[in-house]
A and B are shown apart, each in its own frame.
Chain A
Amino acid sequence: MALVELRNVSKIYQVGDEEIRALDDVTLDIENGEFISIIGPSGSGKSTLMHLLGCLDTPTHGTITLDGIQIQNATSMQLAAIRNRKIGFVFQSFNLLPKLNVAQNVEVPMIYAGVSSRERRERVMEALKRVGLENRAKHRPMQLSGGQQQRVAIARALINRPRIIFADEPTGNLDTHTGEAILNLFRELSQQGSTIVLVTHNPEIAAVTPRRIEIRDGKISINIDKRLAGLE
């Protein structure tokens, strides 16, 4: 069984009298340990897909199974718990909490998970080491560069040892050089066994991942796996 299974998933928004099919009958599997990019122009439905995969939203039709749990009928409290424990998010604009320092930012998901304070402290340092920011624990997000902020966000996404990480345009606000470093970090994490989904509109970034899914008008138009295709 795949880590994530989408079966005939549709998401329909009602705007006035008009029905907008943001996602139209999408079926998709993501295996454990995969490194995938989802690519598509804006308005293609890739954000909607990511929101559904990330349990921020529920589908109108179809079923989604994440790590064996049915998502489509879950309550908001169950969704919150799944987001907390099984999913890590990395955003384009980092979305760190400005009033908390780096260590506290990384700590927040564990507070919601009810981890003891001693274990929290240990795991924060471990995660910061993993992204190379162990000596910045007491800094405020605003005192860090964009690349460093994104590393903090990645550390936060990793902290509850999620089954899958979603990164929404993680390099969008970074210069090419820093962006590359962040992509390398993702690659490293992937090699260490994390399941990672990159959402982007940039084909160059999408080229980094072994598997690439292209979305157009709410449907999957291209689904390439370089390894299966023998390209890598």
Chain B
Amino acid sequence: MNIWATIIVGLKEIWSHKFRSALTMLGIVLGVASLVGMSALVKGMENGMREAMQAVGGIEKVSVIQQELPPAQSHLADQVVGITMADVEALKQNATLTKLITPEMNMGRGAVVSRGKKIYRPWNISGTWPNALEMNVHTIEYGRMFNEIDDDLARNVCVIGTEVRDQLFGSFEETGKEIIPIGENININGQLFTIIGMFTRYESEKQKKEREYQMANPSPERMGPQRRTGWGRGGPGGWAFMMKNSTIYMPLNTMWMKFRAASGTGGIPDPTLSTLNIRITSVEEMEAALQQARNVMMQTHFAMEDFDFRTQENWDENISKQVNNYRWSGGIIAAISLIVGGIGIMNIMFASITERIREIGVRKAIGATTFAIFVQILIESIVVAFIGGVLGLIASYGLVELFKILIPTDNEPVIMMSSMVIAFSFGVFVGLLAGLLPAVKAAKLDPIEALRYE
């Protein structure tokens, strides 16, 4: 029995009942399209979640943080050394699985910057090394980053985020023009600093879309006194971008000498680092890299374990877990709609064979085997599902476009090849299952009775 000829017969059967077949296919079309569309939405959501994690340095970034000594060592509490530049040097020379080391001294939330009468408390004022750009994924848009010379000479220079600019000089939204404050002076906790560079504006895809949407469709003015309405915009993880924009970097030595002098001992300013960030070569080697860094630091800390490592693994796992949950719950619902489509096919195939009992009798009389009839009905059902699947894949593009129109500020849905393959093969598989029962019924018909059937 020629499979190709059977497929042609199936196509003709479908073509001769165009409307009925189209309705039958619709179930599969919608099922496949919703499966693909759903996974595209989830992928967009996942991209949005990962974006924030990338913005704070990605999963390869590990922070070394200070912690209380473990109980067994608590009697040594007065001898702890803290995280210092000694650790930085030691790690640099010995921790081969660490590719980037960035020390940071932070000023804390009490710090104030001012210019004229404008005052602002940025999220983060850090003294650090130039490589903080790479560590914390910053991009300089205007001016330059400070360099080793600035650091060696402990110059009063700083690089600011756009939120600091917005607060001290005025934002684009308020002034109608992009102010580039390079060369301007600002006060940081009472000391005069020159701005030598400014970062780009960091925002999530969602924040960007919301901003653009706001520009195109301005919402009515808020009534009453002017006020800030919080950082709720920009979806989950929007805060990561807000914090990043509200940053001031200065050379590490500037911070150490000009702001730490008061808390030092013996004429030396306090050398303790607030944070030490390291970037490991690859996530696969996370454990080995951490163990190596720990071994090195146990040396510099004289076996006192007053430090710990903080990774983003939890965050990463949470994203994966959430995405999986969305994918499964959405996938099951879409799969149910596909199965309903399959039931539609089964229904139509039963109707179709009842209509064609006589034809089946004739075919058997002129030599069709039970198996040939079985295959014929099954292939017709698969052909319906196949065409429905192809149309569904095309429809999924339309569905995703529809999502974009309906929710313009959400993360861009991303159609994935794998979801298309899965949806399509599942659709065809459902068609095959739906054809089984009708095919068995048709194949079992007795030729004599089928020939007599009116």
Residue of A nearest to B5 (CB): A111
Q: Is the CB of B366 within 8 A of A77?
A: no
CA distance A83 to B364 in the complex (A): 8
Chain B residues with CB below 8 A from A109, complex form: 366-367
Least CB distance, A35 to chain B, in whole angstroms: 21
Q: Does A195 contact B (CB under 8 A)?
A: no
**A85 CA to B366 CA in the complex, in Å?**
9
Q: Which of A1-9, A91-99, A201-209 contacts B (4 or more CB under 8 A)?
A: A91-99
- Nearest chain A CB to B252's CB is how many angstroms away? 82
* The one of A51, A100, A112, A114 that contacts B366, using a Cβ cutoff of 8 Å: A112
Are A51 and B448 in contact, with the CB atoms below 8 A? yes
Q: How far is the CA of A99 from the CA of B1 in the complex (A)?
A: 19
Would A77 and B365 count as touching, CB distance under 8 A?
A: no
Partner of A57, one of B16, B358, B361, B448: B448
Residues of chain B from 333 to 390 with CB closer than 8 A to chain A in the complex: 358-359, 361-372
Q: By DSSP majority rule, is chain A's interface helix, strand, loop, or mixed?
A: helix
Closest-CB distance, B18 to chain A (whole angstroms): 13
Q: B235 at interface (Cβ–Cβ under 8 A)? A: no
What B residues does A57 contact at CB under 8 A? 448
On whether the beta carbons of B370 and A77 are closer than 8 Å, the reply is yes
Complexed CA–CA distance, A51 and B364 (Å): 13
Most B CB contacts (10 A, CB to CB) among A112, A114, A160 go to: A112
**Nearest B residue to A89, CB-CB:** B365
Determine whether the beta carbon of A95 is less than 8 Å from that of B358.
yes
Q: Report the separation of the CA atoms of residues A111 and B1 in the bound assembly, to the nearest whole angstrom.
A: 6
Q: Are the C-beta atoms of B370 and A76 separated by less than 8 Å? A: yes
| Residues of A close to B362: CB separation below 8 A | 91, 95-97
Does the CB pair B16–A99 fall under 8 Å? yes
**Partner among B363, B367, B447, B451 whose Cβ is within 8 Å of the Cβ of A113:** B367
* Residue contact B13 to A112, C-beta cutoff 8 Å: no
| B314 is an interface residue with CB less than 8 A from chain A | no
Give the residues from 278 to 297 in chain B that come closer than 8 angstroms, CB to CB, to chain A: none
- With an 8 A cutoff between CB atoms, is B12 at the interface? yes
Tell whether A40 is near chain B: CB-to-CB under 8 Å: no
Q: What is the bound-complex CA distance between A105 and B365, given in angstroms?
A: 13
- Chain B 430-454: CB-based contact to A (< 8 A → 1; otherwise 0): 0000000000000000011001000
- One digit per residue, 1 when the CB lies within 8 angstroms of any chain B CB and 0 when it does not, for chain A 34-54 equals 000000000000000001001
Within 8 Å CB of A77, what residues of B? Answer: 369-371
- Chain B interface size, as a band, is 20 to 34
Chain B residues with CB under 8 Å of A76's CB are 369-370
* CB closest residue in chain A, given B6: A111
Q: Which B residues are CB-close (under 8 A) to A114?
A: 1-2
CB distance from B366 to the nearest CB of A (A): 5
Nearest CB in chain A to that of B2: its residue: A111
Give min CB distance, A71 to chain B, whole Å.
14
List the B side residues contacting A108 at CB < 8 Å.
Answer: 363, 366
Q: Is the CB of A112 within 8 A of B372?
A: yes
**Chain B: minimal CB distance from A22 (Å):** 12
Distance of B372 from chain A, by nearest CB (Å)? 6
CA distance A53 to B451 in the complex (A): 16
**With A95-B358, A99-B12, A99-B13 as contacts: A112 and B448 at CB distance below 8 Å:** no
Say whether A84 faces chain B, with CB atoms less than 8 Å apart: yes
Residues of the B chain whose Cβ atoms lie less than 8 Å from the Cβ of A112:
1, 363, 366-369, 372
Is B367 within 8 A of A95, CB to CB?
Answer: no
Neighbouring B residues of A113 by C-beta, 8 Å = 367
A222 sits at the interface (CB 8 A): no
Answer yes or no: A81 CB below 8 A from chain B CBs: yes
Q: How far is the CA of A57 from the CA of B450 in the complex (A)?
A: 13
Interchain CB contact under 8 A, B448 and A89 = no
Determine the residue in chain B with the shortest Cβ distance to A91. Answer: B451
Query: What distance in Å separates the Cβ of A34 from its nearest Cβ neighbour in chain B?
Result: 22
What is A's interface to B at a CB cutoff of 8 Å? 51, 54, 56-57, 76-77, 80-81, 83-85, 89, 91, 95-97, 99-100, 108-109, 111-114, 156-157, 160
Q: A89-B365, A97-B359 are in contact. List 11 more A-B contacts (CB 8 A).
A: A80-B368, A80-B370, A81-B369, A83-B367, A95-B362, A97-B362, A97-B363, A112-B366, A112-B367, A112-B368, A157-B366
Q: Report 11 cross-chain contacts, Cβ distance below 8 Å, ordered by A residue.
A: A56-B365, A80-B372, A81-B367, A84-B367, A85-B367, A91-B362, A96-B362, A97-B359, A112-B368, A112-B369, A113-B367
Nearest 3 Cβ contacts at the A-B interface: A84-B367, A80-B369, A112-B367
